[in-house]
């Protein structure tokens, strides 16, 4: 063709999750694949009232071009909210983004050269790998145990531009890092001079007790923090934020201007109207209760239906179970059979920067009802049992 | 600091326009600087009704994660609308973006390597220079006369990754390229194998007659086309679109996924509700009438108040006058005096990729009322007159 692509375009690839989601939109498929929040939990009434109020009280401001930094009162709210979690920042360190996915893109744009090293948990969030990949980094997977990344393994990441982590109910593993491991990890990062990109979309979705303080609270100048309204309100608003160390903020802001000028002011004002008077304190517990019940349903179904030799940890929050099948099973190869049997999941291989473990998979317990979860896991159990029996 | 920046971060810089806008937010300043559409023209009532309808009829779909390509009916609408302008495309070539600024960023991401050449009109849209700059291209300014880029000058752009053009009421020059020049330019681009990035935010803002057919209509496979709802509805929604040649579409889509997953579905559905029944056919003429009256006010004020030796072309649409002062005056140096006198503009130097002409400036006639325009231009005239008199 007439067009010459940039070299980085080779690093852009179709999202396997989005491809799977297309298949699973067929009626009758129980999708445990997507990380779609339960739509029943969206605060529709509050949104409708807030939208009407914004378009009555400040319509022209909401519909006009606005500051790239974001809507002032919303930035103030974010800073105040983070303070309650032990992270003290100024509102002028907050940059409102078009979903926290944009925060990943901006971080990559400002911090990554071709060949730069980026340390990632193994497995890690696929969307982050996709956001960073076009900037052509070299990924350095950090070995994890069931407590999170192993601090002594960070040595191999020395000199990386940053360590990317999801400490709270990680996507895909569901694991929440406890306070002692956080202390040890941050001590090692400080020793190595290794900056951290802390991604926290799921931290509010705890079931029994909130997660430990953010990594950023340990070393505010060494941690770039990403937050999101997608899981506590609704993802279709595309509203997230970056909290940046002050020396880094101007470049991120300029990258934001170059990328989309600013995040829709209308959305920012609507969300601010919804949350400004403590709405989330009443609303988020209803999401937690719903997800906990669905987590319990999935736990019971996994115990009942998966063949012997399958392993998983019980997530204390978030949206996902991470399941390990007996060695030799390949979840990517088994997916068509699962879809045939009426259930979909994401093969774990998608979440590895390199050396994928083919016998892993991610199951979401938030999108479909407890009843459908049970039905889906039962079907999965049959597929895996059959695969085991036909192993050589 | 702990952080190491990417090399491309050096190419990120504060937007001079946004810095000027901050100054001009002071009460009492007549700002002819910003390209802010007249907020009085925003269809607030229609937006309010549409938002309520979307949040009543399809709230969960509007608030859930959605397809990266965009909302299907809106993509269909865009394709149908472009057909009326002579550009025949399939809806599956339409990618909805977070403002057309994002289209510029995605084009840069997919098409530009460090050192790639990008041909630009001289002067050109500052925001495009900012969007492309982090991908480290080398800009090749193409000489323009009062009809647009000079076809014989394109020879120098041979081998560039693309030629970036705003054919309709260009920002900053206000110039609309006529059909014969379009024919000549596209013939030369085809001869040279030079792809085109056609940016059309202002095409609907014509006063007496619509612009000639889009460049993309001449060579659909060789033109990447950008459109926007910012000027015909409201910019705070951040809604634009890319129409891509089919071989290019997948990479742009993957870049879009990596950048922000998708443009807010809520905004897409609200806009679709507003426009689906021909609303723009009734609404846009009211914007045209308003802007034409303000253009006329600025024309009269320029004729009355600017010193002899100042030159400008009458724009037949869009938002801007481009003014050339007598040689020797420096509009960047004069800006503080203008602000002191109560009026702001954008120095023309901001719009040049290289070799800025310091005696130029851009004036917007859409943001403030006719009365204020007259007042602002009168103040400008005094500043420029004084500067001329004090020239050595």
Mean pLDDT of B318-339: 96
Are the Cβ atoms of B36 and A6 closer than 8 angstroms?
A: no
CB B345 within 8 A of CB B336: no
B8-37+281-389 in CATH: which number? Answer: 3.90.1150.10
CB A128 within 8 A of CB A164: yes
Closest CB to B255 among A40, A65, A134: A134
Residue B1, pLDDT score = 61
Residues of B in contact with A63 (CB under 8 A): 39, 42, 44, 47, 234-237
Mean pLDDT of B151-176: 97
User: In chain B, which segments carry CATH 3.90.1150.10?
Assistant: 8-37+281-389
Q: Is A7 on the interface with B (CB under 8 A)?
A: yes
- What residues are paired with A312 via a beta bridge? A323
Residues of A in contact with B3 (CB under 8 A): 111, 161-162, 195, 245, 247-248
Q: Does residue B363 surpass a pLDDT of 80? A: yes
Residues of A in contact with B47 (CB under 8 A): 55, 59, 63
Shortest distance between the Cα of B191 and any Cα of chain A, in A, equals 11
pLDDT tens figures, A99-147: 999 999 999 999 999 999 999 999 999 999 999 999 999 999 999 998 9
Shortest distance between the Cα of A185 and any Cα of chain B, in A, equals 16
Interface of B with A in 301-330 (CB under 8 A): none
Q: Is B235 on the interface with A (CB under 8 A)?
A: yes
Are the Cβ atoms of A260 and B236 closer than 8 angstroms?
A: no
Residue A385, pLDDT score = 97
Residue B4, pLDDT score = 96
- Assign a CATH topology to domain A46-276: 3.40.640
Residue A85, pLDDT score = 94
Residues of A in contact with B195 (CB under 8 A): 2-3
Residue B267, pLDDT score = 98
Residues of B in contact with A262 (CB under 8 A): 238
Distances (CA, A) of A90 to A82, A195, B36, B237, B295: 10, 20, 29, 27, 43
CB A360 within 8 A of CB A325: yes
Residues of A in contact with B42 (CB under 8 A): 59-60, 63-64
- Report residue A1's pLDDT band, with 50, 70 and 90 as the boundaries: low
Residue B2, pLDDT score = 84
Mean pLDDT of B210-234: 97
Are the Cβ atoms of A135 and B6 closer than 8 angstroms?
A: yes
Are the Cβ atoms of B64 and A193 closer than 8 angstroms?
A: no
Residue A76, pLDDT score = 98
- Report residue A2's pLDDT band, with 50, 70 and 90 as the boundaries: confident
Mean pLDDT of B336-353: 94
Mean pLDDT of B35-63: 95
Distances (CA, A) of B184 to B55, B87, B148, B152, B223: 49, 18, 11, 9, 15
CB A240 within 8 A of CB A114: no
Q: Is B15 on the interface with A (CB under 8 A)?
A: yes
Whether residue B123 is preceded by a cis peptide bond, meaning omega within 30 degrees of 0, is: yes
Shortest distance between the Cα of B261 and any Cα of chain A, in A, equals 7
Closest CB to B261 among A4, A101, A134: A101
CB B314 within 8 A of CB B299: yes
Are the Cβ atoms of B6 and A109 closer than 8 angstroms?
A: yes
The candidate with the shortest Cα–Cα distance to A30, out of A341, A264, A385, is A341
Shortest distance between the Cα of A172 and any Cα of chain B, in A, equals 18
Are the Cβ atoms of A259 and B101 closer than 8 angstroms?
A: yes
pLDDT tens figures, A6-54: 999 999 987 777 677 677 667 789 999 988 999 999 999 999 999 999 9
Q: Which CATH class is domain B44-276?
A: alpha beta
CB contact burial A264-277 (16+ within 10 A = b; e otherwise)? bbbbbbbbbbbbee
User: In chain B, which segments carry CATH 3.40.640.10?
Assistant: 44-276
Interface of A with B in 170-229 (CB under 8 A): 193, 195, 221-222
Residue B28, pLDDT score = 85
A13-35+281-389 in CATH: which number? Answer: 3.90.1150.10
Mean pLDDT of B217-245: 97
Are the Cβ atoms of A258 and B134 closer than 8 angstroms?
A: yes
ipTM of the complex: 0.96
| 3-state DSSP assignment of residue A388 | helix
- Report residue B35's pLDDT band, with 50, 70 and 90 as the boundaries: confident
Q: Is A135 on the interface with B (CB under 8 A)?
A: yes
Are the Cβ atoms of B238 and A47 closer than 8 angstroms?
A: no
Interface of A with B in 49-78 (CB under 8 A): 51-52, 55-56, 59-66, 68
Residues of A in contact with B247 (CB under 8 A): 1, 3
CB B263 within 8 A of CB B238: yes
Q: Cβ of A157: how many Cβ atoms within 10 Å?
A: 22
Closest CB to A235 among B64, B99, B116: B64
Residue A342, pLDDT score = 94
Q: Cβ of A48: how many Cβ atoms within 10 Å?
A: 17
Beta strand B360-364 pairing with B320-324: antiparallel
Residues of A in contact with B261 (CB under 8 A): 99, 101, 127, 238
- In a mutational test of the A interface, the residue from B17, B33, B63 whose CB has the highest number of chain A CBs within 10 Å is B63
**Angle formed by the axes of helices B249-260 and B99-111, nearest 10°:** 120
Q: Is A241 on the interface with B (CB under 8 A)?
A: no
Mean pLDDT of A305-321: 97
Q: Is A260 on the interface with B (CB under 8 A)?
A: yes
Query: Who wins on pLDDT, B287 or A19?
Result: B287
pLDDT tens figures, B80-111: 999 999 999 999 999 999 999 999 999 999 99
CB B205 within 8 A of CB B280: no
Mean pLDDT of B213-232: 97
- Chain B residue with minimal CA distance to A263? B238
Count CA within 13 A, CB hemisphere, residue B370. Answer: 11
Closest CB to B266 among A60, A130, A237: A237
Q: Is A47 on the interface with B (CB under 8 A)?
A: yes
pLDDT tens figures, B370-390: 999 999 999 999 999 999 999
- Chain A residue with minimal CA distance to B8? A110
> What distance in Å separates the CA atoms of residue B371 and residue B298, rounded to the nearest whole number?
9
- What residues are paired with A30 via a beta bridge? A343
CB contact burial B254-269 (16+ within 10 A = b; e otherwise)? bbbbbbbbbbbbbbbb
Q: Cβ of A260: how many Cβ atoms within 10 Å?
A: 27
> What distance in Å separates the CA atoms of residue B234 and residue B37, rounded to the nearest whole number?
8
Residues of A in contact with B134 (CB under 8 A): 109, 255, 258
The angle formed by the CA atoms of residues A257, A260 and A261, to the nearest 5 degrees, is 45
Shortest distance between the Cα of A25 and any Cα of chain B, in A, equals 12
User: In chain A, which segments carry CATH 3.40.640.10?
Assistant: 46-276
Residues of A in contact with B241 (CB under 8 A): none
Whether residue B270 is preceded by a cis peptide bond, meaning omega within 30 degrees of 0, is: no
> What distance in Å separates the CA atoms of residue B249 and residue A1, rounded to the nearest whole number?
13
Mean pLDDT of A153-179: 97
- Report residue A370's pLDDT band, with 50, 70 and 90 as the boundaries: very high
- H, E, C per residue of chain A: CCCCCCHHHHHCCCCHHHHHHHHHCCCCCEECCCCCCCHHHCCHHHHHHHHHHHHHHCHHHHHCCCCCCCCHHHHHHHHHHHHHCCCCCCHHHEEEECHHHHHHHHHHHHHCCCCCEEEEECCCCHHHHHHHHHHCCEEEEECEECCEECHHHHHHHCCCCEEEECCCCCCCCCCCCCHHHHHHHHHHHHHHCCCEEEECCCCCCECCCCCCCCHHHCCHHHEEEEEECCCCCCHHHCCEEEECCCCCHHHHHHHHHHHHCCCCHHHHHHHHHHHCCCHHHHHHHHHHHHHHHHHHHHHHHHHHHCCCCCEECCCCECCEEEEECCCCCCHHHHHHHHHHCCEECEEHHHHCCCCCCCCEEEEECCCCCHHHHHHHHHHHHHHHHHHHHCCC
């Amino acid at each position: 063709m007439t067009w010459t692509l940039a070299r980085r375009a080779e690093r852009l690839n179709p999202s396997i999750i989005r491809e799977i989601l297309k298949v699973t939109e067929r009626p009758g498929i129980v999708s445990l694949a997507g990380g779609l929040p339960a739509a029943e939990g969206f605060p529709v009434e509050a949104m409708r009232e807030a939208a009407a109020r914004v378009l009555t009280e400040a319509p022209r401001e909401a519909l006009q071009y606005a500051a790239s930094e974001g809507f002032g009162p919303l930035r103030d709210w974010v800073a105040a909210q983070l303070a309650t979690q032990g992270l003290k920042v100024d509102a002028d360190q907050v940059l409102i983004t078009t979903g926290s996915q944009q925060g990943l893109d901006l971080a990559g744009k400002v911090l990554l050269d071709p060949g730069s090293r980026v340390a990632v948990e193994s497995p890690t969030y696929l969307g982050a790998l996709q956001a960073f990949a076009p900037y052509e980094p070299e990924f350095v997977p950090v070995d994890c145990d069931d407590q999170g990344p192993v601090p002594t393994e960070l040595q191999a990441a020395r000199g990386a531009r940053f360590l990317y982590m999801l400490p709270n109910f990680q996507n895909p593993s569901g694991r929440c890092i406890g306070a002692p491991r956080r202390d040890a990890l941050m001590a090692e990062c400080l020793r190595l001079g290794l900056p951290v990109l802390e991604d926290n979309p799921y931290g509010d979705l705890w079931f029994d007790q909130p997660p430990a303080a953010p990594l950023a609270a340990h070393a505010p100048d060494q941690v770039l923090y990403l937050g999101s309204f997608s899981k506590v309100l609704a993802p279709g608003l595309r509203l997230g934020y970056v909290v940046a160390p002050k020396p880094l903020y101007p470049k991120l802001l300029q990258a934001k201007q170059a990328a989309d000028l600013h995040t829709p002011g209308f959305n920012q004002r609507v969300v601010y109207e919804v949350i400004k008077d403590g709405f989330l304190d009443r609303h988020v517990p209803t999401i937690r209760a719903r997800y906990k019940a669905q987590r319990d349903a999935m736990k019971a179904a996994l115990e009942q239906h998966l063949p012997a030799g399958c392993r998983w940890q019980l997530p204390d929050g978030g949206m996902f179970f991470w399941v390990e099948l007996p060695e030799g099973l390949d979840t990517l190869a088994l997916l068509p059979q699962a879809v045939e049997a009426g259930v979909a999941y994401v093969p774990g291989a998608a979440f590895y920067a390199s050396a994928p473990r083919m016998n892993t998979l991610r199951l979401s317990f938030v999108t479909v009802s407890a009843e459908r979860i049970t039905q889906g896991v039962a079907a999965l159990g049959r597929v895996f049992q059959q695969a085991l029996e036909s192993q050589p």
